[in-house]
Amino acid sequence: MNFVGKVKRFQWKSRKSLTLVAILLLAIIFLRIKYYRYSTEIKLAKGKAETVWEYVADFSNLKQLNPSIVDFLILNDSGNFETWHYTVQYKEVSSNWPYLTSATLAHYEVKHVNKLVQAYYINSNHTSCMAFGCICLTTYSSYDFTQQGNGVDVFELVNYQCPVIFSGLCRKNIEHQRELIARNLIKHFS
């Protein structure tokens, strides 16, 4: 093989290697999973923080507040009025693409701090798996219910995982779910 042939073969291998490295780097950049944050506040004109807290803490009501939840099963629960824990498994349909479903395992902690402050909390962590369990993402949610005169302030903070390339779709899905929950909660307590 002459010198020109060796150079061309080297250039072809180098080009192929660089293309492969570039594709790999792009895949790493766009498919890496990152945490995102979303918060929402709902102001209910009337009601008791304790009543709203109890309503949202009951997962069967969550199915009515968020219709994307299609089925659920309470796996265990324990505790008392001050702190209650339960684990639920539920199936959910994406609001962006109805053919995309996820199976989720969630652990809830429902807490009542004290009656003087009238502060109530629901903390949960969810592991949602899709694509036959090949892709699992984690979400942490924290609800705060506070009495404000005759009304109730409900604040939720959500930290959720999503592949960078799908961050816009994940954000739309979270926003859509939270809008449904807010609308249905206001309707229920109006």
**Per-residue pLDDT reduced to its tens digit, 135-157:** 899 999 999 999 888 999 999 99
pLDDT reported for residue 1: 56
Domain of 1? 1-31
DSSP labels, 86-112: EEEEEEEE-SS-TT-EEEEEEEEEEEE
Claim to verify: residue 19 and residue 46 sit in the same structural domain: no
Asked if residue 110 and residue 53 are part of one domain, the reply reads yes
DSSP string, 132-152: TTTEEEEEEEEEEEEEETTEE
The Cα–Cα gap between 57 and 6 comes to 71
CATH (domain of 174): 3.30.530.20
Is pTM beyond 0.85 here?
no
Instruction: Identify the residue with better confidence: 113 or 140.
Output: 140
% of the chain with per-residue pLDDT over 70: 83
- Does 58 share its domain with 107? yes
